[in-house]
Amino acid sequence: MPARRTIGVDLGGTKLLAGAVDQRLGVHHRAQRTVSGLQQSVLLDVVVDAVTEARESAGAEVAAVGFGIPCLIDRRIGRVEVGVNTPLADLAFGDVMAERLGLPVFVDNDGNTAAMAEHRAGAARGASDAIVLTLGTGIACGLILDGRLYRGARGGAGELGHMVIDLHGPACQGNCPNRGCAEIYASGTALAREARQLAEVHPSSGLAAALNERRELAGPLVTELAHDGDTAAIEAVSLIGARLGIVITNLANIFNPEVVVVGGGVIAAGELMLAPARSVVAERTLPFLHDGLRIVPARFGVEAGMIGAAALAFDGLEGRPPAETRA
């Protein structure tokens, strides 16, 4: 009889990834769903369906479900407060899911679950101070400070995507009333936007050809073209990398971390993005704080949030601290 497993669910703005995970964070079954544009009730049905699939194929007893969701969760009252790209605002999401699934449910911000996975068994393993960035539609983040996940007074810490890096920059999106926010410059969305502009500037580029073929110039295609050597695509990736370098410079000066881990779909670009980022960080960070700083890709790549959500569920079953954010 194999040891029990948990289901980890990374519920993003466009995709859901569920996996049956063992206590050593090995993944035994994956279920994917597209969730963009769904209304709340349909979304909840899709979530239940994906978890049920993962549970049936888990190959062992499933003891709990953990969720990483792109939401601010009020740790004082355990309720989803702001659904950033997901229609879950003001929902007692954990309670609803626990009832529908008949299993204990634990919920945290997706930036936090990604950080938990990378800190426990990935690229930030053993670090006392680490920052895990996930570049997607926006920028998610988890802060490991003095060896522990830092959540802030209400559980909303780590909204680094809404750090102003350009005083006079353009207005941000959604529920953010700010201007010149980091995620306007260094997210997956920013990469797609820059790629579309560069396609126009370089009409004989691979980017332009893809645009003419009416293919979607989103992160995956741009990074693929960059790896294939298309100079316009490389320029787009490199531009985002350099701006990511400014974001990381701020984080180094503010937090003095040992390691900054970069994940999310965009990190498929690998060194094409990280090398320009490192170069800007070396140029701009206070030397004392740059010395020894590592900037590395996420070990679990796009699965970090899902694997961390499963870890959250194991922690929750054992009554360990992250359970305090149970929604």
Contact footprint for its own copies (CB under 8 A):
72, 74, 81-82, 127-129, 145-146, 148, 150-160, 162-169, 175-180, 185, 243, 246, 249-250, 253-258, 283-289, 291-292
The alpha carbon of residue 92 and the mean position of all alpha carbons in its chain are separated, in whole angstroms, by 22
Query: By C-beta, is 82 or 274 nearer to its own copies?
Result: 82
User: In what helix (H) or strand (E) does residue 81 lie, and over which residues does it extend?
Assistant: strand 79-83
Our CB check for its own copies shows the closer of 217 and 262 to be: 262
- Return the number of the residue (158 or 264) whose C-beta is nearest its own copies: 158
Q: Are 155 and 327 in contact (CB under 8 A)?
A: no
Helix (H) or strand (E) holding 163: none
Residue 60 or 254: the one with the smaller Cβ distance to its own copies is: 254
- Cβ at position 260, least distance to its own copies in Å: 11
SS3 15: strand
* DSSP strand pairing (139-145 vs 5-11): unpaired
Residue 147 CB, shortest distance to its own copies, in Å, is: 11
Whether the CB-CB separation of 236 and 217 falls below 8 Å is answered with no
Is the Cβ of residue 209 or residue 282 nearer to its own copies in the bound state?
Answer: 282
Judge contact between 70 and 12, C-beta under 8 A: yes
In the complex, the smallest distance separating the C-beta of residue 173 from its own copies, rounded to whole angstroms, is 12
- Residue 180 Cβ vs its own copies, minimum distance, rounded to whole Å: 8
> Could you identify the residue written with the tokens 């702001």?
82
∠ CA 9-13-19, rounded to 5° = 15
Residue 179 CB, nearest approach to its own copies (Å):
7
